[in-house]
Amino acid sequence: MARIILIEDEHELSGVIADWLIDENHIVEQIYDGKEAFTRLLSKETHYDLAILDLNLPTMSGLEICRSYREAGGLMPIIILTAKRALSVKEVGLDSGADDYLTKPFKLRELSARIRALLRRPAQIVPTTLTAHDLCLDTSRRTVTKAGESIHLLPKEFALLEYFMINAGQVLSAEQITNNIWSQESSISPDTLRSHLRSLRKKLGGDEGSSWIKNVHGVGYKLEI
């Protein structure tokens, strides 16, 4: 499961791609405008594992987004989509910092294969193993252990714990959490988040009072370190 930002202004195509990736257990955020996408990519309140980026976008082109994101230090894998078959267009895209490209129309299975290949790359930025207290979360194997004992988490519970461990010690608002764990297209109520947190805390061996995931009154939540 990965958090994917899908930047494509063709709403119908974007919907088809998003539905396919969600069925593969990815979390997908759809953006249709170039400048909005660039703002989201640079935001410290959001984290993505991979971007799918159309080259022909309103307000800011995909090439400009890719180049500017790399210049700002962004390291996330990027797959560009283009309707142009000329090799020169693909070369420009790759030279701008993209990791891979697909020419429209393309097979959704091929997109999935490209995504898997990029996500399998050796992790040079984010470690594959996250630790806090006696918890150990392996992002590549999708496993969690507590004091050496395996814990089975549902996909959303795993994503929640991973997000808390990446941001251990930081106070996270409910909006930050839902934006990173659920697609912005989803209508997630505060009760839904609280329900998932209760389940996660229980599996980790604690309730709201004894869990390392603490409520910060009026602000949000944090994983104590």
CA distances from 209 to 146, 169, 216 (A): 18, 17, 12
The arithmetic mean of pLDDT across residues 132-153, rounded, is: 88
Percent pLDDT > 90 in the chain is: 48
The arithmetic mean of pLDDT across residues 23-27, rounded, is: 92
The arithmetic mean of pLDDT across residues 168-178, rounded, is: 88
Helix (H) or strand (E) holding 82: strand 78-82
Tell me the CB-side half-sphere exposure of residue 112, using CA atoms within 13 A.
14
CA distances from 206 to 121, 160, 179 (A): 35, 16, 25
Q: Residue 96: pLDDT above 90?
A: no
Specify the higher pLDDT residue, 83 or 195.
195
Q: Residue 11: pLDDT above 50?
A: yes
pLDDT of residue 140: 66
Q: Residue 185: pLDDT above 70?
A: no
Residue intervals in the chain for CATH 1.10.10.10: 129-223
Pick the CATH number of 3-119 from 3.40.50.920, 3.30.70.260, 3.40.50.2300, 3.30.930.10: 3.40.50.2300
115: Cβ–Cβ under 8 A, 6 or more apart, which residues? 2, 4, 21, 26, 50, 79
pLDDT of residue 156: 85
At which residue do the structure tokens 């918890």 appear?
Answer: 135
At which residue do the structure tokens 């959001």 appear?
Answer: 46
Of 78, 26, 24, 74, residue with least CA distance to 51 = 78
CB 36 within 8 A of CB 25: no
Specify the higher pLDDT residue, 90 or 192.
192
Percent pLDDT > 70 in the chain is: 90
The arithmetic mean of pLDDT across residues 1-17, rounded, is: 94
User: Dihedral through CA 160, CA 151, CA 170, CA 5, nearest 10?
Assistant: -30
Query: At 167, is the pLDDT very low, low, confident or very high (cuts 50, 70, 90)?
Result: confident
DSSP of 155-219, one letter per residue?
Answer: HHHHHHHHHHHHTTTS-B-HHHHHHHHS-TTS---HHHHHHHHHHHHHHTT--TTTSSEEEETTT
CATH number, span 129-223: 1.10.10.10
